[in-house]
A and B are shown apart, each in its own frame.
Chain A
Amino acid sequence: MAKNRLLRILTVLTSYGVLTFFALVMLFPFLVMLFTSLKTPADTFSYPPRLLPREQITVTLPGYERPLPLHLVEHEEGRTQPMALVEDNIRVGIFAPLQPDGSPDRSRVVMRRFGEVRVVGGEDPKTVLLDGAEVPVYEVNVDGEIQEMVVISRTAVGRFVNPDNPSESVLANVRLSPPVTRITAHPENYLTVVNLLGFDRALTNTALITILTVIGQLTTSVLGGYAFARLKFPGRDSLFLVYLGTVMVPFVVLIIPLYQLMVAIGWVNSMPALILPWLYTAYGTFLMRQFFITIPREVEEAALIDGASRLTILTRIFLPASVPALATLATFTFLYAWNSFFWPLVVVNTGNTRAQVLTLALNVLRGRASDSPNLILAGAAISIIPPTIVFALAQRYYVESVASSGLKG
């Protein structure tokens, strides 16, 4: 018995573990999107990649005009300390003392600027043979003692000063001194994107198209669904079968004739082309019909006897009772209209800003701002966040109804 219980607990824990892992997999790209959209361009290219936006801390010191970036610098004694970089690209030599056998002692190297050292022998420089080449010997001051040393390598370093004590300065390799960073956020990326390439216009257009499409689809679907569910007219059932069959037809079959129709009417590059063809939907009609047939007939018949018209019955009795179906259809249409890409790509010229929609603007942005992933992902966030909010509000209805009817676009 105890063994069974243990097994049960283990199963539950494992299940939660697996489910959480998958939840992280599902959410991770969105986290990448959100955090990258708040980064500086330089930060996006750091390796290893890091999730949170970070930025180098700068300090202002008396005597220096610009703010100075802080780095974690390793002193010669081996302790590390945050210090401000005041000068970069200083050419220095790495000096090593000469051992009695004439070879340099690489374990006791020091770094000096060439201005700080003198060549031994002045006019007639003293040289030693090192790796088959004659190299000059320098006099180097190490802790107050003059030693004879040779250059074993040259490099460029930065000069760092201690922000607490600006007179203390060190030379160190900038690339080996990790920058001191703190977590930041650059929400102004979003403003930049919105002001770029007519993104703001694309946003309003998409919102307008989505709202009108949702209203239009709800209207036609409610009317059609009611007719299919409750009104008897010749040809109803065969017509309904035809409607069901249309679900099989892929959109790509329609795209060329629809485009031609838009050309013929003169709607290419304009808003009506993005709205009117989508006001009819077999899915929506089907969904509303399936919901309406579940509403009991008795209420309706009583109202009919009282002399109510069909429209009154529809608006006063059926609509209030079908909030879940309406919410589902509205959400579905919202997502479809907001996310659609293929049709706008065909019917709206990408250069046209007046009928631009978000997905097209994103496509343009991708090409123009390829060096700033932070801006591209800010654009992606603008296109992804509104549908996610709508989904979060309606998910109770929407997910249930996907489960029951398998609605799909």
Chain B
Amino acid sequence: MRLNRRLFLLSDLGPNRVLASLALWHGVQGALLIALGVGGLVSRTQLLSLVHGIALAGAVVVGFLSVVASIGIARRSHIGRAASLVVHYLLFIAALIGLASALDLFKGLDVLADYAAEGVPFLMAFVFMVGYALRTIELSERPVPRWRRRIGSAVMLVGGVGVALSLGLVTALLDWVAKLLQSPSALVWLALAVISVFLLRVMWRDPVAAWLGARRTHGEQLVGWLFLSPNLLGFLFFFAGPLLFSLYVSFTNWDAFNRRDWVGLENYARAFGLVVQPLRVPDQPASEALDVRTYSELMRVHLPGQSFLIGARDRLFWISLGNTLLFSALAVPLSVVPALFLAVLLNMRLPGMRLYRTLYFIPSVAAVVGVALIWQWMYNSQVGWINYFITEGINFINALLGTDIPDPQIRWLADSSYALLSVVIMSAWQWIGFNTVLFLAGLQTIPRELYEAATVDGANPRQQFFHITLPLLAPTTFYVLVTASIQALQVFDQVFIISNGTGGPGTSTLTMTLNLYQNGFQSFRQGYASALAWILFVVIFLFTLFQFRRQRKASSAYES
């Protein structure tokens, strides 16, 4: 036994032999990975699938790192150690992903949902949590007594085993072991994972670390990258990569399935394509003035003496842009101004203000889909509450003043001139509470002494509001305006539910995001939809920049 263990003590082998074999290992590994990656990328005979492309490119990168590690180890540099650790960490992750896909572990989530649908797992999880509470929560100053800890542990065990059994984890585990033994590729992945872990340990632990001159700060750096790695991998795969890919797709005519030809700026040209034609008579048919194969009528401009017809290559883009800007221009002030007003009232610090603050916040935690359904019902033109309130209000005013205002009986969601306004009101209602809390936080940073001094100087509340509160609140106002605008410009859920995904009635609630959705996922013009997404991104960016400029100007004006 002792002899066996001694055989594996690396220090007995001496640094030269161990490091040489490690350098060799990395060299061979790097060469193989690069050959695999480059070979795969070069020898492609048909369109590669996205995943293969990513995997092959990843192999080249890891292979390159492995070569670096090989050279570093040969030179006895700690950089070699770092590179080696990174390589084996990445290989380990790759092996785990490979293993998971070979065993269909990801699909296991669906199976998990099948079991969870029976409801027992949630009950068991609850039992588990009760056990944990029993074990840990201190009811008095004294520590938790022993008997409670024991009972708590027992209950936790029951709950935990219950969760495992009811989720089918035990059978799944056996199933996976059986699959593992039958699948050669899974075994290869498993072997790769084990080797990676072994080499990670060898590199990390002392004799090798010391031979390569690693110090504590180096270890700290590696731990930093290690801790960040789950985040960083997510960032690369689900954010940065897709972002760049999206930019690329916006220059192609991808239909999501086959064609993916580079078309340059064509998508953007199509979105922005406009033509202005003078008209002989104001109501001249569009087919005479425009090349209707490319352009369709967007609007007519009637100037004295001359009328113009504006045609667009994609009129829906312009309509959606207009709707989105109109929506934001209405919904942002409607959700910001009342919020400021409420925040000033709440800042009087009277008793019960926390309760009000919480109540105002509730709409912003509710699902937009649910909220839209409630409002859809309230907007019902015959039996809805909104029209009822309007009718009652008008009757009241008529009775009070003896006027004869007719009841408008607005068909909120069916009338194209009111549909967008309906969505504006609903969204403003939902966003007010959030903005109120932001304003309240800003208000609480303004020193009270300023108001006291102003009162002594004889400033009335209105003057105080305009000369103290507003200027000092400018940074918060800027922030609230920016976040509200960013949110408003992306409005989707509300209009989708209200219009059943059509953007109707007519095109009255077709927003940019909804237009993007229709292009990308109903007509499957994904290249064009990507271009639309980037245009929206730029619009949002410009909005932010504009607000930023204004805020800078405002604050500098205040300072001078």
Q: Could you list which residues of chain A lie within 8 angstroms of chain B, going by C-beta atoms?
A: 12, 15-16, 18-19, 22-23, 25-30, 32-33, 36, 44-49, 200-201, 204-205, 207-208, 212, 219-221, 223-224, 226-228, 231-234, 236, 239, 243, 246, 248-261, 263-265, 267, 270-272, 275-280, 282, 285, 310, 335, 338-339, 341-342, 345-346, 354-355, 358-359, 362-363, 366-367, 373, 376-377, 379-381, 383-384, 387-388, 391-392, 395, 399, 402-404, 406, 408
Contacts and interface: CB of A to CB of B under 8 A. Distances in A.
B441 A234 contact: no
Given A26-B359, A359-B367, 11 more contacts: A19-B353, A22-B342, A29-B378, A47-B388, A236-B224, A254-B242, A260-B50, A355-B113, A406-B438, A408-B434, A408-B487
A255 B243 CA distance: 9
A404 B438 CA distance: 8
A201 B360 CA distance: 32
Main secondary structure of the interface of B (DSSP, over half): helix
Nearest to A338: B367
Nearest to A376: B373
A275 B234 CA distance: 12
Interface in B222-246: 222-225, 227-228, 230-235, 237-239, 241-243, 245-246
Contacts of B237: 261
Contacts, number: 311
Interface string B364-404: 01111111011111100011110010000000000000000
Contact of A264 (B51, B432, B434): B51
Given A25-B429, A363-B369, A383-B370, A403 B227 contact: no
B490 A251 contact: yes
Q: How large is the interface on B (under 10, 10 to 19, 20 to 34, 35 or more residues)?
A: 35 or more
Main secondary structure of the interface of A (DSSP, over half): helix
B431 to A, nearest CB: 10
A373 B231 CA distance: 44
B529 interface: yes
B366 A253 contact: no
B437 A339 contact: no
Contacts of B221: 231-234
A-B pairs, top 7 by smallest CB distance, nearest first, are: A280-B234, A403-B441, A231-B224, A224-B231, A233-B224, A257-B242, A380-B370
Contacts of A201: 113, 117
Interface string B352-364: 0100111111110
B446 to A, nearest CB: 14
B345 interface: yes
B112 A250 contact: no
A376 to B, nearest CB: 6
Given A232-B220, A384-B366, A260 B487 contact: no
B50 A264 contact: yes
A253 B246 contact: yes
A32 B385 contact: yes
Nearest to A408: B483
B369 A359 contact: yes
A387 B371 CA distance: 13
A373 B341 CA distance: 35
A234 B465 CA distance: 48
Contacts of B500: 366-367
Contacts of A15: 345, 348, 350
B325 to A, nearest CB: 15
A380 B112 contact: no
Given A15-B345, A339-B369, A224 B385 contact: no
B541 interface: yes
B534 interface: yes
Contacts of A25: 429
Contacts of A265: 51
Given A19-B345, A48-B388, A280-B235, A384 B370 contact: yes
B370 A254 contact: no
27 contacts: A26-B429, A27-B359, A28-B385, A29-B363, A29-B375, A204-B113, A205-B117, A226-B227, A233-B220, A233-B222, A233-B225, A234-B221, A239-B228, A239-B232, A250-B490, A252-B492, A252-B536, A263-B256, A270-B107, A270-B110, A276-B238, A355-B113, A366-B373, A366-B376, A383-B367, A387-B367, A399-B361
B521 interface: yes
A223 B358 contact: no
Given A12-B350, A26-B359, A408-B434, A388 B366 contact: yes
A353 to B, nearest CB: 10
Contacts of B338: 22
B142 to A, nearest CB: 19
A402 B480 CA distance: 12
Contact of A255 (B119, B376, B520): B520
B32 interface: no
Contacts of A45: 383
Contacts of B385: 28, 32, 49
Given A32-B377, A226-B227, A367-B500, A26 B433 contact: yes
B356 A49 contact: no
B422 interface: no
B249 to A, nearest CB: 6
